[in-house]
Structure 1
Amino acid sequence: MLQKSYTLQKSTWLHLRIPFSFYLLPVFVFACATVKPNGLLLTGLIFLILHLFLYPASNGFNSYFDKDEESIGGLEHPPKVSEELYWTSLIFDAVALIAGFMINWVFAMMLFGYGLASKAYSHPLTRWKKKPLLGWLVAGFFQGYFTFMLVVVGLKDFSPELFLNAKYFVPAFLSSALLWGSYPMTQVYQHEEDGRRGDETLSRKLGVLGTFHFTAICFTAASGGFFYYFLTSYGMTTALAFAVAMVPVLAYFLWWYASVRNDRKQANFRNTMRLNFYSAICLNLFFSWLWLFT
């Protein structure tokens, strides 16, 4: 007798939010642009480990413990979660870790560290999401600096000097700086649900307009850092190309800010996802150009 094949529930696939990994892709592409990898197979394997397994595992685990009823990143109408999502997220983590050992053991251990941090962010025993400053710092650090260096460690033969080389740790830090500016914006439409759950995010602390002001200041500082980095490391042409690439993001941000000043309801899921999308498109295009043509 043939046994019925097992398939994941639709809700589990949705909460893994694999397409949402696109918004985290700029850090990977920036790291590749810095390292200039020769091996297509190795580069592709690292991409798959991060964007097909590690990030979805984190998304699923967070969704399981958050149990959101309103919009979350990548899902306007999230379905109810099941225990299947919990176990699937752990399996995805395990696959990422096993594949990571195929590259090198330090890369695998860094994957493990990322997984622990993402779990501590949402798990009830730690719930860093309840701590506005800590949650903000952890999210920006691990999705920026840590991921950048993770890719570097995967693409190159590991040595401790990698972490002391300004060629790598400066752009890695800039990646975090950009995320520290943008991360509160991803929470600006979740204030009510976060409040009901007792999560005191930085965006909720700042308020809606305060979040916009905070992001504007951080984004300006981070962009200035990027401009100086590209000017000194690549030249004026690259620095100006970065500035031009950011114009659509700035234009949309200013339009959205003006809209929210007139109507707080404009600080909603759809407008937030549009900002994420425009930012990811512009950064991915610029970093891809930096990688392939400079």
Structure 2
Amino acid sequence: MFKKSTWLHLRIPFSFFLLPVFLFALAVSPNINESRIIIVFIALHFFLYPASNGYNSYFDKDEKSIGGLRNPPKVVKGLYYTALVFDMVAIGMALIISWQFSLMLFIYGLVSKAYSHPGIRIKKYAFLSWFIAGFFQGAFTFMMAYMGLNQYGFHVWEQAHLWLPGILTSLMLWGSYPMTQIYQHEEDSKRGDHTLSYKLGIKGTFYFTAVTFSIAVGAFVFYFMEYHKDKYALLFVLSMLPVVLYFGYWFLKVHIDMSKADFSHTMRLNMISALCLNIFFIYFFLDSSQVLQAIKAGY
């Protein structure tokens, strides 16, 4: 259970790539406190997401690079039980806030298991897996984090003004998700997992992501201008420039040599994207919540 390979497959640092959804929910939350921020952050990023990673790794048994691991070690039975324990810890921590929030984590865990379990294996269905991964890691997680951060119940699902930022997070993930699969075509096809990226092909994946990402950025601009301040729209576009520049640079390399659609370039794009989004949403939270103004005023 406590072998080094088990901890590597949990891929806890990989949670950094999903942190923007939590930060976005935090930035628009009206009823937060420090203890709930800590509980929600730890439950999601140190237990729920690693549990999903470990469970997925156990059933995939990848021999080549996967997200966050260039050379994944052979999985052991202890990984399966560790993933379940991590799931239970996350759900237990969520109960400190509310049973509704805990139930949301339980549902997320069930879906993540159905994604990779051989009995269901949503992953083998190209469009269904793409939609479910984007929805649950995006809109569902946004609502889940919002509920936990504010100690709200299921009524948040009835609030139309929350659906827009929730769908925006999914839209961003729907655009980027196929890119995370672009170097795994051979490995996935061996298991019969014909992912969306596999269906689109390498160049098709780039085109798909370029179009979807452009739509997502435009939708974020509309959201910030309509519901917040124009400056956030401008700053969001500026924060995405490094992502666009690297994406274009990488596509040119792939256009010349298809082998460049590899693990290293994919992880680099993920890191740049996550870093830019995290910085933006941290600023958005600090500025919109008046924390920056309080600091400047000497409080």
When normalised by structure 2's length, the TM-score is 0.95
Q: Which residue of 2 aligns with 1:3?
A: none
What does the per-residue CA deviation read over 1:99-121, in whole Å, with 9 as the maximum and x for residues that have no partner? 11111011001100000000000
User: Matches of residues 25-104 of structure 1 in structure 2 within 5 Å?
Assistant: 25-104=19-98
1:116 to 2:107 alignment: no
Q: Which residue of 1 aligns with 2:172?
A: 178
1:224 to 2:224 alignment: no
Distance 1:79 1:159, change over 3 A: closer
Q: Which residue of 2 aligns with 1:265?
A: 259
How far off its partner does 1:160 sit?
4.0
Percent of aligned pairs with the same amino acid: 54
**1:37 and 1:43 in contact (8 A); partners too:** no
Task: Give the SS at the match of 1:45.
Answer: helix
Supply the distance in 1 between the matched residues of 2:32 and 2:146 (Cα, whole angstroms).
13
Supply the distance in 1 between the matched residues of 2:93 and 2:47 (Cα, whole angstroms).
10
Task: Give the SS at the match of 2:235.
Answer: helix
Q: Which residue of 1 aligns with 2:230?
A: 236
Supply the distance in 1 between the matched residues of 2:151 and 2:242 (Cα, whole angstroms).
38
Cα RMSD of the aligned pairs, angstroms, is 1.0
**2:130 and 2:196 in contact (8 A); partners too:** yes
1:210 to 2:210 alignment: no
Bigger shift: residues 148-157 or 281-290: 148-157
Q: Which residue of 2 aligns with 1:246?
A: 240
| Residue type at the aligned position of 1:94 | M
Bigger shift: residues 106-115 or 157-166: 157-166
Q: How many residues align?
A: 288
- Runs of at least 5 residues in structure 1 that lack an aligned partner in the other structure: 1-6
How far off its partner does 1:167 sit?
3.0
Supply the distance in 2 between the matched residues of 1:194 and 1:50 (Cα, whole angstroms).
27
Supply the distance in 2 between the matched residues of 1:149 and 1:162 (Cα, whole angstroms).
7
- Runs of at least 5 residues in structure 2 that lack an aligned partner in the other structure: 289-299
Task: Give the SS at the match of 1:74.
Answer: coil
Task: Give the SS at the match of 2:69.
Answer: coil
**2:52 and 2:112 in contact (8 A); partners too:** yes
What does the per-residue CA deviation read over 1:169-210, in whole Å, with 9 as the maximum and x for residues that have no partner? 110110000000000000000001111111110000000000
How far off its partner does 1:13 sit?
0.4
| Residue type at the aligned position of 2:271 | F
**2:97 and 2:151 in contact (8 A); partners too:** no
| Residue type at the aligned position of 2:43 | I
> Of the candidates 247, 267, 285, which is equivalent to residue 279 of structure 2?
285
